[in-house]
Structures are given as C-alpha cells and as structure tokens.
Amino acid sequence: MKVAVVGATGMVGEVMLKVLEERNFPITELLLVASERSVGKKLTFKNKEYSIIGLADAVAAKPEIAIFSAGGDTSLKWAPKFAEAGTTVVDNSSAWRMDPTKKLVVPEINASELTKEDKIIANPNCSTIQMVLALSPLHAKYKMKRVVVSTYQSVSGTGVKAVKQLENEIAGIEGEMAYPYPIGRNALPHCDVFMENGYTKEEMKLAREPQKIFNDKTFSVTATAVRIPTAGGHSESVNVEFENDFDLADVRKMLHETPGVVVQDNTDTNTYPMPIYAHDKDEVFVGRIRRDETQPNTLNMWIVADNLRKGAATNTIQIAEYLVENNLV
C-alpha cells in the first residue's frame, strides 16, 4: 500500500505519523508531503528517515491513499488532482465536509456508506466527532430532537502558533499572538471566524455536520464554542432533548457498550472526563450523565476527547483502515 501523508510537518500531520506507526497501518511505500518551503526536510517514521516531497511529485507517484491535513485551500486545489490520478483522499480540512457529493465519515457510525467510487472522503470537525460518537447509540434508541452544546476547546485545535502563545504567556515571554487577546487565564468565545448570523464557523460546523453524519435533519443543534487555555483535548457540555424518555442506567450501559466510548462517571470518587486524562488517547470519554430536571426526556453529559487524535488523525486513519479492510482501494 503506497500512502501519502499531505501536511506531514503540521501538528495533525505529526500525530498522523504517530498513529500510523502505533496501529501498524499496512504501508509498503510512504510519501511525506508538504508545502514547497518544507521540501527536502527530513522526518522519521519507524526509525527510517524520509525526505519531504512536494504535492505535484506526490500526485505523480499515484499512491493508493492520500491522508490530507494541510488546510482547506490546499485540499480544494489538490484533492481533485489526487482523485483524478486514482488516489483515494481522506481529508481532514473543512473543504469538502458539506459538499453533497462527498461522504462525511465517523467510521463507527457511517463507514458502511463508503464505496470504491468515493475518491474524496471528508473527516468531520474535531468537536463534532466526539459529540456524535457519544450521541449515536442514544439517537438510535431515543431519537434526538434538539442538542445544545457548549465547547471548551484546547489551543492545539488552532495550531502550533496558538500552543506557542500559551506557552509564552505561562513563561512570561512576549511573542507572536495567534489570538486577538491573551489566552492564559482567559476564555475566548471565539473559535474560527464570525459569520453574518453572529455565530462562529466552528459553531455552525457543530450545527450542520451531525445532521449529515446521521443523514437526518429531524433534529437540530445549537452551539457556543469557547477556546480555553488547555494544551490538548476538547471538552463539551451537551444537553440533548429526545422524542422518547430514557432510563439513566440504560444510557450508561449503551454508552459503555459503544466502541470508542469510555464512560467515566462516578461522582462518589470524583470520576469524570478531563482533557488531562484524554490526552494521547483515541477514545471519547463521557461522564456527568444526568437527567435535565427542567424539562422531560432531556439528558446532560460531559464529553472529552483528544482533538488531535480521535478528533483528527485517528479518525482519518480509521477511515483509511476501513477502505483497506473492505477492498475499497
């Protein structure tokens, strides 16, 4: 299997290489691809050194799979060129997510929709993935009507520059700012850019992507996305109203039995999900499971995951694994 990793030098790219190695993905030839300014740089994978190549050379090499994490503009320009050459692209940017001709995939939920004809496959937004994975079994049984989500998102979701800003602030060093304000000792209700409706782009991703993943527009999602000074891991307060009533013991049992979900929910021992626990793990952690006492059929949950792993790299590679296992490439 000839595999290209596009955006190999970025934050998610680095994690992708780590996850490919950990999961022992079947690679016979690896192409590490980045922008022109990185061409010729060296990276190590499984104790072997590789030179970074440019996008045109990568397309010409005709890999079976190209795993993209290089930003929306790069994806819009280059993913179709890879697809034309016969490569299946799994893209981690927002470029193709809401394109009606492209599948938006969380493997545990809807990988079965994939066919050999899907040459560009979209990976959902990091905060969407962890939310829908926890909601999936509950939606199947109780049918969601409305979801209200508030996020507490790590600076790593913004990128290297934001992580550096937080580190500089902690160390008392003046440096380049990724955000319009300090992030240390602060919370910014401003993830991605503001749109005409007053919501941010991140909030609208959370509103729209779940409907596409579940192929269901009968429920709605409203979101507030907040950046907080944690280094890795997104947290979400999720309030979900169902059509049908539920039993809390059944909810916990269903979540416990859901692949990729870990229930951490014991208030007697102060056990609940936290980014510090989720860091470097592939699972989605769910806790603080309780009934909303202000209205019927409504549940509150706290959902945490490593945004660079299940929120990005791991989900992308799980899609690629599904393609290989099902002979779709």
Verify whether residue 191 is a known catalytic residue: no
Q: Who contacts 229 (Cβ-Cβ below 8 Å, separation ≥6)?
A: 155, 166, 169, 183, 184, 185, 186, 187
- Inter-residue contact 7 to 69 (CB < 8 Å): yes
As beta bridge partners, residue 237 has 150, 302
Catalytic annotation, pick one of 126, 139, 191, 279 = 126
DSSP track, 281-319: --SEEEEEEEE-TTSTTEEEEEEEE-TTIIIIIHHHHHH
State how far the Cα of 255 lies from the Cα of 31, in Å rounded to an integer.
38
- Residue among 25, 133, 24, 18 nearest 69 (CA): 18
Residue 165 assigned as binding residue = no
Residue 93 assigned as binding residue = no
Residue 301 assigned as binding residue = no
Residue 11 assigned as binding residue = yes
Residue 291 assigned as binding residue = no
Report helix, strand or coil for 131: helix
Residue 10 assigned as binding residue = yes
CB atoms within 10 A of CB 6: 29
Could you tell me the two tokens for 252? Answer: 């916990």
State how far the Cα of 321 lies from the Cα of 172, in Å rounded to an integer.
44
Residue 224 assigned as binding residue = no
Residue 38 assigned as binding residue = yes
DSSP track, 35-94: -GGGTT-EEEETTEEEE-B-HHHHHHT--SEEEE-S-HHHHHHHHHHHHHTTPEEEE-SS
Residue 4 CB burial class (10 angstroms; 0-12, 13-18, ≥19): buried
Could you tell me the two tokens for 189? Answer: 């209700």
- Inter-residue contact 123 to 90 (CB < 8 Å): yes
Residue 13 assigned as binding residue = no
State how far the Cα of 204 lies from the Cα of 206, in Å rounded to an integer.
5
Catalytic annotation, pick one of 139, 191, 234, 279 = 234
Residue 97 assigned as binding residue = yes
Residue 175 assigned as binding residue = no
Which residues fall in the annotated binding site for NADP(+)? 9-12, 37-38, 156-157, 307
Which residues fall in the annotated binding site for phosphate? 97
Which residues fall in the annotated binding site? 9-12, 37-38, 97, 153, 156-157, 227, 307
Which residues fall in the annotated binding site for substrate? 153, 227
Catalytic residues: 126, 234
